[in-house]
Amino acid sequence: MNSVALKKNHKALRAEMCAMGENARKAAAQLRLSAADTKNKALDAAAAAIRLHEKEILSANACDMEAAASRGLSAAMLDRLKLNGKRIEAMARGLEDIATLADPVGREVARWTRPNGLDIARVTTPIGVIGMIYESRPNVTADAGALCVKAGNAVILRGGSESMHSSRVLCAALVAGLEEAGIPPDAVQLVPTTDRAAVGMMLEGLGGTVDMIIPRGGKSLVARVQEEARVPVLAHLEGICHSYVHAEADLTKARAIVVNAKMRRTGICGATETLLIDRDVVRTHLVPILDGLTATGCEIRGDKEVVNAYPAAKLATEDDWHTEYLDSIISVRIVDGVEDAVHHISTYGSQHTECIVTEDDKAAEKFMDELDSAIVMYNASTQFADGGEFGMGAEIGLGTGKLHARGPVGVEQLTTFKYLVRGSGQTRP
């Protein structure tokens, strides 16, 4: 297509996207005032619709899978894209679980009276319209849609293009649920095109209708959000997570934690990408831990000292310390104590999740105190960086920014608040 035609198309796309925003805003104004029961009814009805339309979902997903395979997607990406009966049932149950969560809206989180008699209450409220940009994972369509509705927000979903057919059917099930409960169907909308220009329009805020963008993804999305976002962003971006084996680490614990932190699931943002080992325990701990990793199929990329001590390792480059592999690869570096570990993590990390393995409480507290990451752990796998594991129920992901919410983002984090001030005629002196 020549550039004039493309521009013309983008004008039409912009009009369509802004209309979606306008419709979302209208829906949000109604949804905001909906009772908890109404929202929960919509989620239960959506779960039923997902079960009812299992065949359609499977056939749409088959269509996505075929196209994705022909485009040469990696096995890991294909696995995330794939749906089956079990996964569809899990999505439906996920919506029902969200329905059972306490309503996050209208909660009085604080209330006090001033000496002049003014009664001040801080009450949770929905945010409004949320734009959600995410990977080719159909289950996120269901989860994110449901979490936003539960928190009283309208949402515009933009999943990865490979999942378009699956997401469309799943979104229709969510909308069927909304309609059954009498909530405006525009409360959950799916961007109907795979044109990447739509992402840019969402980042611009769709003509002032979007209150917040949640971008979920890796390096290329990071850069785009940084450059193009014109509305508040609750970033769910890179997780370059570290596990640090301290001089006082128990070897059995360290080996179990590191192998789990890296290899339990390599594709999640809380997976460890870099292992730091204290020089004091290189002779005792390095080989057993790296053996544990290679035994589960992990590639090791180490600094010079690591490669000397463990010849099966490849030599890491500077890039490796900056890389979120999301794969069976780990970078390994020798460090000199807590300070040096903190320095490496502060230099190369993404402030997501880090862990120290040690039997020395003081070292652990120093590590946890000095690091400025959303989650800092002590003797536990970084793969616990998850809303469910934190006991917060379902999550939309893990926030990597500093404002509003860090760490797991669930229904509570998808709300804001207002102050209600009740007086009896007070004027300010």
Q: What is the nearest approach in angstroms of a second copy to the Cβ of residue 81?
A: 23
* CA 45 to chain CA mean position, Å: 25
Amino acid identity of residue 308, one-letter, is N
C-beta of residue 173 within 8 angstroms of C-beta of residue 50: yes
Q: Which is nearer to a second copy, 110 or 312 (CB)?
A: 110
The strand pair at 397-399 and 407-409 is best described as antiparallel
Q: Which residues would be at the binding site for a second copy (CB under 8 A)?
A: 29, 32-33, 112, 114, 118, 120, 125, 127-128, 211-212, 226-227, 229-230, 232-234, 250, 252-253, 256-257, 259-261, 264, 346, 364, 368-370, 372-381, 383-384, 389-391, 401-404, 406-407, 416-428
Q: Which is nearer to a second copy, 336 or 365 (CB)?
A: 365
Q: What is the nearest approach in angstroms of a second copy to the Cβ of residue 342?
A: 10
Q: What is the nearest approach in angstroms of a second copy to the Cβ of residue 67?
A: 33
Radius of gyration of the chain (CA): 24
C-beta of residue 326 within 8 angstroms of C-beta of residue 266: yes
User: What's the order of all strands across the beta sheet hosting 188-190?
Assistant: 188-190, 154-158, 129-133, 212-215
190 in helix, strand or coil? strand
169 in helix, strand or coil? helix
Q: Which is nearer to a second copy, 250 or 291 (CB)?
A: 250
Q: Which is nearer to a second copy, 141 or 382 (CB)?
A: 382
Amino acid identity of residue 9, one-letter, is N
Q: How far apart are CA 396 and CA 373, in angstroms?
A: 19
Residue 70: how many CB atoms within 10 A of its CB? 8
Instruction: Tell me which residue has tokens 């469309």.
Output: 168
Amino acid identity of residue 319, one-letter, is D
E-only strand ranges, 35-86:
none
Q: Which is nearer to a second copy, 253 or 279 (CB)?
A: 253
Q: Which is nearer to a second copy, 142 or 233 (CB)?
A: 233
Question: Among 238, 228, 283, which Cα is nearest to 400's?
Answer: 238
Q: What is the nearest approach in angstroms of a second copy to the Cβ of residue 80?
A: 18
Q: Which is nearer to a second copy, 173 or 345 (CB)?
A: 345
Q: What is the nearest approach in angstroms of a second copy to the Cβ of residue 421?
A: 4
Q: What is the nearest approach in angstroms of a second copy to the Cβ of residue 115?
A: 9
Q: Which is nearer to a second copy, 62 or 120 (CB)?
A: 120
Amino acid identity of residue 172, one-letter, is A
Question: Among 243, 351, 332, 257, which Cα is nearest to 290's?
Answer: 332
Q: What is the DSSP letter of 114?
A: -
Q: What is the nearest approach in angstroms of a second copy to the Cβ of residue 418?
A: 6
C-beta of residue 213 within 8 angstroms of C-beta of residue 234: yes
Q: What is the nearest approach in angstroms of a second copy to the Cβ of residue 103?
A: 15
Q: Which is nearer to a second copy, 169 or 247 (CB)?
A: 247
Q: Give me 87's structure tokens.
A: 């996964």
Q: What is the nearest approach in angstroms of a second copy to the Cβ of residue 382?
A: 9
